[in-house]
Amino acid sequence: MSTVLSLAAVLLTAVLLATVWNRSRPVARTGLAVLSLISVAAAAGVQVNRLTEIFPSVVKDDPGGSQLRMVTVPGALTLPMYVYLPAAYNTGSDRYPVITAFHGFPGTPEFWLRDLDVQSVLDREIAAGRMAPTVVLFPSQTPDPLRDTECTDMRDGPQAETYLTVDVPAYAKAHFRVRPDAAGWGLTGYSAGAFCAINLLLRHPDKYAAAASLSGYAAPGIDIDDGSQNTTNNPLWRLRNLPQPPVALWLGWAGDDLESAHESQELAASARTPLEVTTAVVKRGGHNSTVWRLMEAPAFDWLSARLARPLTVA
């Protein structure tokens, strides 16, 4: 609604400028010009916030029983993280499998919560039995919303990989009832976050069992400062030059999203046993939230089927 109102304000001031400018006095003209500049700046601000989500909205618990908590995770970085707790978390003492979900760039975890309505999707899939009760983490990936880390450790910059693969899991294991073993941990993400999921799975098969990519890439979109974007931080290079780990990878893309489609197909073609690869294609839709909403539930269901089930403890 804020987007519609901001654009309406721009159109209104444009109409006023066109219809009354010649009949207005200098003072009135100045006021109209200032009003026009303000409306344009406001509209631009709304669009920037939709991309970067610098000013997040409030998230509430679902009446059905699941919870969405916001925490602050310290470590190599200190950043906010949302935590989805399934309705079953409120009862018993089970330790649950975990999926870490990465956002794209620019963006924050808010995109999962707002644009992809992830809490409702998870509630529905778990209630239908297509997904086991699972704790899902939505960490921030960079301290600067305008700096892309691609979830890597930057030389003389943010240590995002260390934060996401060491500090975030350690915090989750210390504060929530989650499985401690790699068999119970998975990754997912969309766009740049999908690259994160693929890359971190291949780099840390001792910590994660599976990953699902929604319109991901075979290489990072940035220079990592040490050249590793061409080697060890390049999933396609890893598949072609290093032993492949015994993990599972789901690759989804839209047929008309040419870059993601090409790179995902290259990854699938380069996979060898013991790496398991599953592919899923949406016929058309491009590179946007419409496609990711179509992929979202199947990706979570697939991940859940490959992760260890909730662990019952006394």
3-state secondary structure the chain: CHHHHHHHHHHHHHHHHHHHHHHCCHHHHHHHHHHHHHHHHHHHHHHHHHHHCCCCCCCCCCCCCCEEEEEEECCCCCEEEEEEECHHHHCCCCEECEEEEECCCCCCCHHHHHCCCHHHHHHHHHHCCCCCCCEEEEECCCCCCCCCCCCCECCCCCEHHHHHHHHHHHHHHHHCCECCCHHHEEEEEECHHHHHHHHHHHHCCCCCCEEEEECCCCCCCCCCCCCHHHCCCCHHHHHHHCCCCCCEEEEEEECCCHHHHHHHHHHHHHCCCCCEEEEEEECCCCCCHHHHHHHHHHHHHHHHHHCCCCECCC
CA distances from 175 to 72, 74, 166, 208 (A): 12, 13, 14, 19
> Which pLDDT score is estimated for 64?
55
CA distances from 18 to 10, 41, 154, 162, 290 (A): 12, 19, 51, 56, 37
> Which pLDDT score is estimated for 30?
56
List the chain pLDDT tens, one digit each, 314 residues: 444 444 444 445 454 445 544 555 555 455 545 445 555 444 444 444 444 343 333 355 655 599 999 999 999 999 999 999 999 999 889 999 999 999 999 999 999 999 999 999 999 999 999 999 999 999 999 999 889 999 999 998 999 999 999 999 999 999 999 999 999 999 999 999 999 999 999 999 999 999 999 999 999 999 998 999 999 999 999 999 999 999 999 999 999 999 999 999 999 999 999 999 999 999 999 999 999 999 999 999 999 999 999 999 87
Asked if residues 201 and 211 have their Cβ atoms less than 8 Å apart, the reply is yes
Long-range contacts of 237-244 (CB under 8 A, 24+ apart): 238/202, 238/203, 239/202, 239/267, 239/270, 239/271, 239/272, 239/275, 240/270, 244/271, 244/272, 244/273, 244/274, 244/275
What values do phi and psi take at 50, rounded to 5? -65, -30
154 alpha-carbon distance from chain centroid: 20
Task: For residues 164 and 152, give the distance between their C-alpha atoms in angstroms, rounded to a whole number.
Answer: 9
> Which pLDDT score is estimated for 308?
98
- Tokens at residue 225, please? 């400062």
CA distances from 28 to 11, 17, 31, 130, 169 (A): 18, 10, 5, 63, 60
Asked if residues 115 and 190 have their Cβ atoms less than 8 Å apart, the reply is no
> Which pLDDT score is estimated for 173?
98
